[in-house]
Amino acid sequence: MAAPTTLPSALADAVRDESSLRRFLHGLPGVDQVGVEQRAAGLGTRSIKKASKLHAIDLAISMVDLTTLEGADTHGKVRSLAAKARRPDPERPDVPKVAAVCVYPDMVKTAADDLVGTGINVASVATAFPSGRSTMDIKLADTRFAVEQGAAEVDMVIDRGAFLSGRYGQVFEEIVKIKEACGDAHLKVILETGELVTYDNVRRASWLALLAGGDFIKTSTGKVQPAATLPVTHVMLQAVRDWKDQTGELRGVKPAGGIRTTKDAIKYLVAVHEVAGPEWLDPHLFRFGASTLLNDLLMQRRTQLDGHYSGPDYVTVD
């Protein structure tokens, strides 16, 4: 097994071979389920108002990976999404642009052509998204195709079947190879926490992805329920914080799926601040995978600035 970067000796030791990897992952402390759920719920009650709320809304907008991953996607839909990414609220030019547009590989070129020079990245899902059930060659080809088309970020899915059967080495190898195929593109590793069942598994998968070189760990594909939840994101934020403590490197977290309201988004931002740290309140290190969330953020922003409630008639339909 090849470690992607120079790791401190304890971690380098963990990736020496499959059995040491298993020993390392199973040696991670277990997650206190009641504790993490209580803490997540507790932080969720923080009241963020007025100027802080407005700031949080703008920050959340700049963290959105505006996503369309439907079988019915058309080039036209992707282009209108790109337009929305550039200028989320056309009547208000001071609204920040989103972080990235996330599409299927065959739509990457359409999005990339529309986003040249805007500073907005194109992210592409790859590796037989969303199930990840295909051969390694196909997954690699899928990734290379996305990158060639202009994706600056690749969202891969892990092989949950292999992970749940304990074949950690196989999952690790896959992530390492995909990371190589990505070249300069950032790699986000989708753990699909809804299929991992326990918080302990989420912690193990997070560490596995970090060890293998994932730049981001992402909760879900959005195709499986439950998708992102606050406690799961807590566990993942703890993993990137611990990773920084041990290696000095900053890795990102991306909750995706099921985050639809501004209230939810702000709860996540509070968790980021409290669990990982204020450094992570940055679009380079924290993203929201979402489509409907953006409209709610824009409506709440209008509510804050106009002094009265806004409605869906004032944002774009998508």
Q: Which is nearer to other proteins, 60 or 315 (CB)?
A: 315
**Residue 63 near residue 300, CB atoms below 8 Å:** no
Distances in Å between the alpha carbon of 65 and those of 41, 84, 100? 25, 12, 5
The residues pairing with 64 across neighbouring beta strands, listed in sequence order, are: 288
Q: Specify whether 254 is catalytic.
A: yes
Residue type, 303: T
Count of residues binding other proteins (CB under 8 A)? 9
Stretch that binds other proteins, among 160-168, 195-203, 281-289, 306-314 (CB under 8 A): 306-314
Distances in Å between the alpha carbon of 112 and those of 11, 78, 83, 109, 278? 37, 10, 12, 5, 31
Q: Which of 27, 94, 311, 317 binds other proteins (CB under 8 A)?
A: 311
**Residue 178 near residue 156, CB atoms below 8 Å:** yes
* 10 touching other proteins, by CB under 8 A: no
* 308 touching other proteins, by CB under 8 A: yes
Among candidate residues 84, 179, 254, 267, the one labeled active-site is 254
Among candidate residues 159, 218, 264, 267, the one labeled active-site is 218
Residue 157: name the closest of 175, 144, 182 by CA.
175
Q: Which of 80, 170, 310, 316 binds other proteins (CB under 8 A)?
A: 310
Q: How many CB atoms lie within 10 A of CB 200?
A: 17
* 238 touching other proteins, by CB under 8 A: no
* 302 touching other proteins, by CB under 8 A: yes
Token pair 């594909």 in the structure block, residue? 221
Return the SS3 of 187: strand
* 314 touching other proteins, by CB under 8 A: yes
Q: Which of 92, 313, 317, 318 binds other proteins (CB under 8 A)?
A: 313
Q: Rounded distance, CA 140 to CA 174, Å?
A: 9
Q: Which is nearer to other proteins, 310 or 316 (CB)?
A: 310
* 137 touching other proteins, by CB under 8 A: no
Residue type, 93: P
CA 311 distance to own-chain centroid: 28
Q: Which of 184, 225, 278, 309 binds other proteins (CB under 8 A)?
A: 309
Residue 156: name the closest of 122, 196, 129, 185 by CA.
129
Stretch that binds other proteins, among 128-136, 167-175, 193-201, 303-311 (CB under 8 A): 303-311
Q: Specify whether 155 is catalytic.
A: yes
Q: Specify whether 218 is catalytic.
A: yes
* 316 touching other proteins, by CB under 8 A: no
* 160 touching other proteins, by CB under 8 A: no
Catalytic (active-site) positions: 155, 218, 254
Which residues lie near other proteins (CB under 8 A)? 302, 307-314
